[in-house]
Amino acid sequence: MSIFDQPGVYARNPQGGVEHVRELLDAGFRWYAFNVGDHSLPEWQTVIGRCRALEMPVFPWRFVHTDDDVRELCDLARGQFDGRVVVNAEKPLDEGRVTAEVIRDATEGMDAAVSVEPRPFGNVDWTILSDRVIQLQLFPQENPASRDPRARRLEYLAAGCRRADFMLGMHDETPASFPARQYGYSVYTVDDMGLSCAAWGPQEVAPLDPDAFPKVAPGYGPSSPGGKPQSQPSTMWKALKRALHRAGYGDFPDPDEEYGSELAAAMAAFQRSVGIRPTGDYGEASYQALRVYRAVTAPEDAAMDARACEWAREALAAGDPRLG
């Protein structure tokens, strides 16, 4: 389990009205990252003290300009903040002043996220950071790339990252400008949020009715880690592909009925983002997560939309066994 499986917040300036930790907790946020790139650690002592008093995990983030910045940040986080850290790696990573190898090595054994620009830099080997949580920055008010979060997530997954969650750059925007607030998203920043914590906290989503989305058959890809044989073709796998396409974990514009390696990879990426062991197999935990998961393409709608649910019901009617 990672702290980044849960929603959290960034804070930019200790003088920016960022000390309302109780309100953040009540809104559903479960971690607090504070900026040590522009402000010294002593300036954050009030925030740190309040977080610790309320058992809110608190740790540093920093915009890193050099590899030495990365090492310094991680040494601080390892020594004083339970090994939790966010490395904000932007243009210096593209320019080679910060390297993926040093981020990987400096964060080894830590609970680490890497905050990045909305599109992966083409000259970076992202597979080096495949075991780190990518926090994909969305600033729709600043750049057009942020306005297609589904495509941005797919780009990071295609580049070799295994998990890409959304960081909501909220200034001058409303929650409606962003994907649904679920699981391990983050909000930048507390300074801009003020006391409007509840509006940016995680959404409560009523699960799909099991009559509409039935619990049909476990599913296994061609390389199931449990050694299960690959599942036979089914409209259920067609339904999963549609849902994961809409959620941004796979690219299945015309889904078929095979539980192949592409579906297994998309399922594993989804499982990482919702805190499930990423086997790529489909079972009870993935079913329950999909019952509440919203589409990136239409955040007010379920990833398992009416068409996907219809295919799931067809699979059940065709004789596929129920889960569990």
**pTM: predicted TM-score of the whole model, two decimal places:** 0.94
Is residue 312 within 8 A of residue 216, CB to CB? The reply is yes
Structural domains in the chain, sorted by start: 3-200 (3.20.20.70), 205-324 (no CATH)
Q: What is residue 298's predicted lDDT score, i.e. its pLDDT?
A: 85
Q: What is residue 163's predicted lDDT score, i.e. its pLDDT?
A: 96
Q: How far apart are CA 271 and CA 157, in angstroms?
A: 13
Residue 253 has pLDDT above 90, yes or no: yes
Tokens of 304: 């398992």
Q: How far apart are CA 231 and CA 50, in angstroms?
A: 51
For the chain, give the percent of residues with pLDDT over 90. Answer: 94
Query: Mean pLDDT, to the nearest integer, of 84-96?
Result: 97
Q: Which position has the token pair 């090994």?
A: 83
Tens digits of residue pLDDT in 216-235: 889 999 999 989 999 999 99
Residue 319 has pLDDT above 70, yes or no: yes
Q: What is residue 324's predicted lDDT score, i.e. its pLDDT?
A: 47
Tens digits of residue pLDDT in 285-299: 999 999 999 999 888
- The CA-CA-CA angle for residues 309, 300, 138, to 5°, reads 120
Q: How far apart are CA 290 and CA 76, in angstroms?
A: 38
Residue 241 has pLDDT above 60, yes or no: yes
Tens digits of residue pLDDT in 256-290: 999 999 999 999 999 999 999 999 999 999 999 99
Which residues make Cβ contacts (< 8 Å) with residue 122, sequence separation at least 6?
A: none
Q: At 135, phi and psi to the nearest 5?
A: -105, 105
Residue 72 has pLDDT above 80, yes or no: yes
Residue 71 has pLDDT above 70, yes or no: yes
SS3 99: coil
Tens digits of residue pLDDT in 34-57: 999 999 999 999 999 999 999 999
Tens digits of residue pLDDT in 116-126: 999 999 999 99
Other Cβ atoms less than 10 A from the Cβ of 30: the count is: 17
| Burial (CB count <10 Å: 0-12, 13-18, 19+), residue 45 | exposed
Q: What is residue 320's predicted lDDT score, i.e. its pLDDT?
A: 64
Residue 191 has pLDDT above 80, yes or no: yes
